[in-house]
Amino acid sequence: MSEHFRVQGGARLAGEVGVVGAKNSVLKLMAAALLAEGTTTITNCPEILDVPLMADVLRSLGCTVEIDGDRVTIDTPAEINHEAVSPSMGKLRASVCVLGPLVARCRKAVVTLPGGDAIGSRPLDMHQSGLRQLGATSYIEHGAVVAEAQDLRGAQIWLDFPSVGATENILMAAVLAEGTTVIDNAAREPEIVDLSVMLQQMGAKIEGAGTSTLTVHGVPSLRAVEHRVIGDRIVGATWAFAAAATRGDITVRGVNPGHLNLVLEKLRTAGAEVTCGNEEFRVVMRNRPQAVDYVTLPYPGFPTDLQPMALALSAVADGTSMITENLFESRFRFIEELVRMGADARTDGHHAVVRGQERLSSAPVWATDIRAGVGLVLAGLCADGVTEVWDVFHIDRGYPNFVENMRALGADVTRVSS
User: Which residues are documented as binding site for UDP-N-acetyl-alpha-D-glucosamine?
Assistant: 93, 305, 327
Tell me which of 50, 68, 75, 117 is the catalytic residue. 117
One-letter identity of residue 220: P
| Residue 207 β-bridge partners | 215
Question: Residue 201 and residue 199: Cα distance in Å, rounded?
Answer: 5
The annotated binding site is made up of 23-24, 93, 305, 327
Instruction: DSSP for 198-231, please give it.
Output: HHHHTT-EEE-TTSSEEEEE--S-----EEEPPB
Identity (one letter) of the amino acid at 131? L
For the chain, how far is it from start to end, CA to CA, in angstroms? 6
Asked whether 335 and 365 are in contact (CB, 8 A), the reply is no
Q: How far apart are CA 176 and CA 220, in angstroms?
A: 6
* H or E, element range at 228: strand 226-228
Any idea what the Cα angle at residue 386 is, between residues 385 and 387, rounded to 5°? 125
d(CA 59, CA 66): 10
Task: Cis check for the bond before 300: say yes or no (omega within 30 of 0).
Answer: yes
- How many angstroms separate the CA atoms of 111 and 99, rounded? 6
Binding residues for phosphoenolpyruvate are 23-24
Q: Is 384 a catalytic residue?
A: no
Angle at which helix 233-245 crosses helix 23-32, to 10 degrees, equals: 170
Residue positions annotated with a catalytic role: 117
